[in-house]
Amino acid sequence: MTMLAVFRSRAQALDALTLLRGAGVPAQAVSTPKEAGVGCGISVRFEGKFLPRVRALLSARRYSAMWGYLRCCGGAYTRC
The pLDDT, as a whole number, for residue 52 is 97
**d(Cα 46, Cα 13) in Å, to the nearest integer?**
13
CATH architecture assignment, domain 2-79: 2-Layer Sandwich (3.30)
The pLDDT, as a whole number, for residue 74 is 79
**d(Cα 4, Cα 65) in Å, to the nearest integer?**
14
Taking only the tens of pLDDT, the chain with its 80 residues reads 899 999 999 999 999 999 999 999 999 999 988 777 776 678 999 999 999 999 999 999 999 999 999 998 877 777 87
Q: Which of 59, 68, 34, 50 is nearest to 1 (CA)?
A: 50
> With contact defined as beta carbons under 8 Å apart, do 48 and 1 qualify?
yes
Packing angle between helix 10-22 and helix 51-61, nearest 10 degrees? Answer: 120
Q: Which of 50, 78, 79, 77 is nearest to 16 (CA)?
A: 50
